[in-house]
């Protein structure tokens, strides 16, 4: 179990949200760096789709970062149908040495692929910090503090902080879960909830075939990082801002849709660990799948039957076809 909340809130429900300031020029950002600009310590990865009303807040939150080391910003747009791509391109023209873009011509998510399959391999940084295109950071020292911590603490594979949910620029009283204290390697391996927009982790993960099946990709990330070290909660960093809106994949999903996403994620993670021969984690995620099925409201007997059949097939699985761990 996760420990009790051990932080003090920065903003309370009902308070207004302060957005990131207008960014400095590329020259001003870079002049504070030491080291080779082509060898960034941190890669900031942003995945976006139809975020024309939000993407500027995200990018401004990245560009406000004050660091002594080089960092890069990788923005993956999944073929947005609004003005998101145009806004990204405008920023890229102003910050050509910092911002790299992946602009899909066709929506890869609808094809069963994940943006991280394209963005993570492009990341040059020793560490990766993630923030979706509808969320943003408010602490200008966020990645400096996280990069320093991971550099000085090799027994940790990820560090993270708190997050504050808001809607229409007002903080709301909702809890979306998330670790707010340190996690052991064993706890990480079980795929706990960590606020993705607050995390910074070692750039050591590849894209196994099961990733295409996972719907909650963050759980898969934390679980695999748990094989490499512990998780650290950094209370000194201001919480990042999690935007709740109708276009949000998780916050706008119905209970039934979230249950189905959990089903698919646990099936894929069980298959992954079965393929690696890790019987303990295989059985753990198989158990999480069953627990999710039988505790879910509104799940039809047919869905239960299908998931049970899949569980039985996984028990017989000897090797997942194709790919490396």
Q: How do residues 107-122 score in pLDDT, each as one tens digit?
A: 998 888 889 999 999 9
Half-sphere exposure of 302 (CA within 13 A, CB side): 0
318 or 73, greater pLDDT:
73
3-state helix, strand, coil in the chain (%, to 5): 35, 15, 50
Q: Are residues 292 and 168 in the same domain?
A: no
Does the residue 248 lie in any domain? no
Q: Are residues 262 and 235 in the same domain?
A: no
Does the residue 64 lie in any domain? yes
Domain final position from 222, 243, 264: 243
- For residues 130 and 113, what is the distance between their CA atoms, to the nearest angstrom? 18
Segment 156-179, tens digit of pLDDT: 999 999 999 999 999 998 888 789
pLDDT of residue 67: 98
Q: Are residues 288 and 166 in the same domain?
A: no
Does the residue 261 lie in any domain? yes
Name the average pLDDT for the chain.
88
Domain count, the chain: 2
Q: Is 80 exceeded by the pLDDT of residue 240?
A: yes
| CATH number, position 37 | 3.90.550.10
Does the residue 123 lie in any domain? yes
- For residues 139 and 11, what is the distance between their CA atoms, to the nearest angstrom? 13
Q: Are residues 239 and 271 in the same domain?
A: no
Q: Are residues 301 and 175 in the same domain?
A: no
188 or 249, greater pLDDT:
188
Does the residue 249 lie in any domain? no
Q: Are residues 70 and 194 in the same domain?
A: yes
* Cβ atoms 265, 221 nearer than 8 A: no
Does the residue 325 lie in any domain? no
Helix orientation angle between 301-316 and 255-276, rounded to the nearest 10 degrees: 10
pLDDT of residue 215: 87
Q: Is 70 exceeded by the pLDDT of residue 195?
A: yes
Does the residue 19 lie in any domain? no
Domain final position from 243, 268, 288: 243
Provide the residue range defining the domain that includes 149. Answer: 26-243
Q: Are residues 35 and 139 in the same domain?
A: yes
Does the residue 102 lie in any domain? yes
Segment 78-88, tens digit of pLDDT: 999 999 999 99
pLDDT of residue 320: 41
Q: Are residues 77 and 214 in the same domain?
A: yes
Q: How confident is the model at residue 212 (pLDDT cuts 50, 70, 90)?
A: confident
């Amino acid at each position: 179990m996760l420990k009790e909340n051990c932080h003090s809130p920065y903003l309370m429900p009902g308070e207004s949200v302060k957005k990131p300031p207008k960014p400095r020029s590329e020259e001003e950002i870079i002049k504070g760096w030491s080291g080779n600009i082509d060898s960034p310590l941190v890669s900031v990865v942003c995945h976006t789709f139809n975020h024309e009303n939000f993407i500027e807040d995200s990018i401004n939150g990245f560009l406000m970062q004050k660091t002594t080391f080089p960092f890069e910003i990788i923005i993956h747009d999944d073929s947005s149908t609004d003005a998101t791509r145009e806004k990204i391109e405008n920023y890229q023209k102003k910050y050509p040495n910092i911002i790299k873009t992946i602009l899909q011509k066709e929506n890869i998510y609808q094809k069963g692929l994940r943006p991280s399959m394209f963005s993570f391999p492009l990341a040059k940084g020793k560490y990766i910090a993630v923030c979706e295109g509808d969320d943003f950071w408010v602490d200008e020292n966020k990645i400096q503090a996280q990069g320093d911590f991971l550099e000085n603490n090799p027994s940790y594979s990820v560090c993270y902080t708190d997050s504050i949910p808001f809607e229409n620029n007002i903080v709301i009283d909702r809890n979306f879960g998330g670790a707010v204290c340190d996690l052991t390697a064993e706890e990480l391996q079980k795929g706990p909830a960590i606020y993705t927009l607050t995390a910074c982790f070692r750039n050591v993960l590849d894209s196994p075939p099961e990733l295409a099946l996972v719907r909650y990709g963050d759980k898969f990330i934390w679980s695999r990082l748990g094989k490499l070290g512990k998780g650290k909660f950094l209370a000194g960093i201001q919480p990042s801002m999690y935007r709740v809106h109708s276009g949000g994949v998780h916050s706008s999903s119905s209970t039934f849709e979230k249950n189905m996403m959990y089903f698919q994620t646990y099936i894929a993670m069980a298959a992954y660990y079965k393929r690696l021969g890790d019987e303990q984690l295989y059985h753990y995620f198989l158990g999480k799948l069953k627990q999710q099925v039988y505790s879910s409201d509104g799940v039809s007997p047919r869905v239960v039957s299908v998931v049970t059949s899949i569980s039985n097939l996984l028990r017989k699985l000897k090797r997942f076809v194709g790919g490396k761990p």
